[in-house]
Amino acid sequence: MNIRNGFTLVELIVVIVILGILAATVAPKFVDLQSEAKVATLKGLKGAYESALRMVTSKAVLQSKDKARCANVCINSSRCPADMSALPCTNSRSDIEAYPGVVQLEDGNLNSNTAQLSLERIVDFDRSQWEFSSCGPAGNICMMVKGSAKSCCSYIGSSVNPEGDACMLHFWLYGSNSKVQIVSGGC
């Protein structure tokens, strides 16, 4: 009786070639999934921010602060001072920095000087993957993939190209023209 105890060299080479072909056809799909995941995350974050910004505006209306030139709005009562009227409203980050439940509005929209801090407060996101930066005139804020090669300012001009080579949310925070825009060409 002749008992085989292994594979021949030809059998091993055939298996390795087949595995190589499979890896070459499947690998691009996995690489593309990463990009799709980032775009899906941006879409989810955009929806969350738009909802949160509407919630903040609604809370301002309920607190009769929607028409105020400058207003401190409590979005989490357990993290706000007992006497909100004692908080200064000078359009400065220091006005609300010590109170994580407070955001500052200017004419019914996020105050441009405190907007980045307010945006960090109103939606929970993975700070190990995403970071905020601001650019140019106050009110232009980007939420970008951490470690992006370019800064927020390199994407902001007279308009933002949604198909540009960035992977970010762009917040345009100017009165009634405020909007949140996805730029996904670089994801």
Going by pLDDT thresholds of 50, 70 and 90, the confidence category of residue 142 is confident
pLDDT digits (tens, 9 = 90+) for 94-108: 999 999 999 998 887
Q: Domain count of the chain? A: 1
Assess if residue 29 is contained within a domain. Answer: yes
Return the H-helix or E-strand segment holding 26: helix 9-62
Question: What is the total residue count of the chain?
Answer: 187
Residues 71-102 as b or e (16 or more Cβ within 10 Å = b): bbbbbeeeebeeebeebebeeeeebbeebebb
In a domain? residue 3: no
Residue 117 lies in a domain: yes
1 belongs to a structural domain: no
Cα–Cα distance between 80 and 68 in angstroms, integer?
19
- The most distant pair of C-alpha atoms in the chain lies apart, rounded to whole Å, by 96
Neighbours of 114 (CB within 10 A): 26
- Is 4 inside a domain boundary? no
Which of 109, 160, 167, 166 is CA-nearest to residue 139? 109
The percent of residues above 70 in pLDDT, for the chain, comes to 87
pTM of the predicted structure, to 2 decimals: 0.72
Domain extent at residue 72: 9-183
Residue 120 falls inside a structural domain:
yes
Backbone angles phi, psi at 68, to 5 degrees: -70, 145
pLDDT at 44: 93
Q: What is the per-residue pLDDT across 27-62, written as a single tens digit (0 to 9) for each?
A: 776 666 778 888 898 999 999 998 988 888 888 898
Say which amino acid occupies 159.
S
Task: Give the 3-state secondary structure percentages of the chain, helix then strand then coil, rounded to 5.
Answer: 40, 20, 40
Would 73 be classed as within a structural domain?
yes
Any domain includes 128:
yes
- pLDDT tier, 161 (very low <50, low <70, confident <90, very high otherwise): low
pLDDT at residue 3 tops 80: no
